[in-house]
Amino acid sequence: MEYVTLSNGVKMPIMGYGVYQVTKDECERCVLDALKAGYRSLDTAQSYFNEEEVGNAIQKSGLQREEIFLTTKVWVEHYGYDACRKSVEESLKKLKTDYLDLLLLHQPFSDYYGAWHALEDLYKEGTVRAIGVSNFYPDRLVDIASFANIRPMVNQVETHPHNQQIEAKKWMDKYNIQIEAWAPFGEGRGGLFEEPVLKEIGAKYGKTSAQVILRWHIQRGVVVIPKSTHYERMVENLNVFDFTLSAEDMEKITQLDKKTSSFFSHYDPNMVEWFAKMVEERKNNHKSETEKKNW
């Protein structure tokens, strides 16, 4: 495994296992498989609703807690200082740990400054080894990096050959913020796995298009968290440290950049409205569930 060193000196595996869209029913088994395959970095979030299963798997794995780099993210409805701290306490309980290796703010909306101040204090108290953000576009990233007491150490954003974040990465590099890719394969949208360039490069090295994509990320210094529910694919994804793409290959992949999201834009006001509506619906659903339990 290769590592990156964050701005505060913490070492983070350049590849981890992500559990976005892994169901509660499958999550514990999948995380155990990932740890068996050799992953030592796990990425979850409050909004994935599987923190508890991740915690169960870590506990059952037989590995020491310090052998695992554990990341979770605070969801928007828990923004603001007090709500954020309370939600992190709940995450720690679900994950069955007394500290996190990395804690991120999941979205750049609502009172993210209040939540960020909570992360800063949790970091100072030693509950969190590193703090960062997710989905922060360059303008908001520079904002928080410039005015917060502690700069984010990581920014997790959509990054893959069809959306390479070249300009955004320049800003992250300028502020010494580590880029991390969610959807490092772009979920295969736009026929990414079938791109002739990727298949041609893969054939040269005896690798799949997916392995070429992961190697491309790694050589750019991008942390990746590929997700799979199949053990064989988990092993395959890890098998990318035995070859190096040439400068020519890297340039060919650069030419695949469409410079646009394969999913959604946080700049789009319609998307912001959608997030706001979703947060409100989740609050109401949570309130209803709580009332049922207390009835």
Which residues are marked as active site?
48
Strand order through the sheet with 102-105: 17-18, 41-43, 69-74, 102-105, 131-134, 154-158, 178-182, 223-224
* Tokens of residue 182, six digits: 């969610």
Cβ-based neighbours of 44, under 8 Å, separated by 6 or more: 18, 19, 50, 51, 54, 71, 72, 73, 95
37 vs 44: CA distance, rounded Å: 18
* Tokens of residue 2, six digits: 């290769």
Yes or no: say if 219 and 251 are a contact pair by the CB < 8 Å rule: no
Yes or no: say if 184 and 207 are a contact pair by the CB < 8 Å rule: no
108 vs 9: CA distance, rounded Å: 25
* Tokens of residue 94, six digits: 């679900």
* Tokens of residue 244, six digits: 């190096």
